[in-house]
Amino acid sequence: MESKLNVPLSPDKRTSGTRKRSFNREVNLTGWLFVSPMVIGFVTLLLGPLLLALYMSFTDWPLLGEAEFIGLENYTAIFQDAEFWTVVGNTFMFSAGLVPLNIVLALGLALLLVRKLPGIGIFRTAIFVPVMTLLIVWAIVWKYLFATDTGFINQILQMFGITGPSWLYNPKLAMPVVIVTSVLKNVGLNMVLFIAALQQVPVHLYEAARIDGASRTRQLFQITIPMISPTVFLTTLLTIIGSLKVFGQIYVMTQGGPDNSTKVLVYYIWERAFKNFEFGYASALAFVLFFIILVFTLLQWQFRKRWVFHEE
């Protein structure tokens, strides 16, 4: 057998290898320099506060004073808190009212405005403008519109001899009012997503369906909705997550009232943190909300696998 000899590299080959390693180090360093702002921002603005909030959830931490580590007491107290369950029920009620209304209205508007007609862009813009409007401004305007005595809506009813109710001071009406105003605020975003999806549906499918005598309703449920099902999944997921995090319109329009009928989970977290100065308890509530959103997201992901893409 021939023996393998260790032949020393020539000076040129050693120099080439050294240059290659040096070049690779420079490329890696350049790459890290480019992504460093994002990495620093992620660590300081997201990961750091997240870990701090997680630690705070295991403490009794008032705004003024030292933190005392109490383990899982905040979490056990949450599930024994009657107000917490009321707040969770209100949050789910808000989501149950907002999500289907938003999706159905957005899809209906998209079906009407997807056609290429003169001036159709004006209507699309008018519906999308509230999405770009500041939430606080939007909520303030609607709060005055629904005012009991001087509100525009009750004044219109008064013209027909109808005494308008105290919309935002009635426990049975406050939540529906907040739901409707929230839908009108954000329906334009889902409408735009649906229009983009509808424009990608092949036209020949509708032509074949019309030849077979399929009605428009049948075309909607057998062609349109199946073809845009990924967009339906996306909009539903984003709308549910957004509804579970509702805060601004509740803070401006109702302050969680009347009689806690509109107090939702994020508002309850803010109240315990910045009114009662219970930062540890509020942090634990925030992680409970995170877990609720995570569960809903995972359930919807399983639904997507089974129904959207027909995966086994």
pLDDT, residue 119, reads: 82
Compute the distance between CA of residue 285 and CA of residue 279 in angstroms, rounded to an integer.
10
List of the chain residues with pLDDT < 70: 1-24, 27, 305-312
Number of alpha carbons in the 13 Å side-chain half-sphere of residue 227: 19
d(CA 161, CA 165): 13
Return the closest-CA partner of residue 93 out of 40, 172, 23, 147: 172
Q: Do residues 88 and 265 lie in contact, with contact meaning Cβ atoms separated by under 8 Å?
A: yes
Enter the pTM of the model: 0.85
Query: Which long-range contacts (C-beta less than 8 Å, at least 24 apart) are formed by 272-278?
Result: 277/62, 277/63, 277/64, 278/61, 278/62
How high is the pLDDT of residue 127? Answer: 92
At 240-261, the pLDDT tens digits run: 999 999 999 999 999 998 999 9
Q: For 165-198, write each residue's pLDDT tens digit.
A: 999 999 999 999 999 999 999 999 999 999 999 9
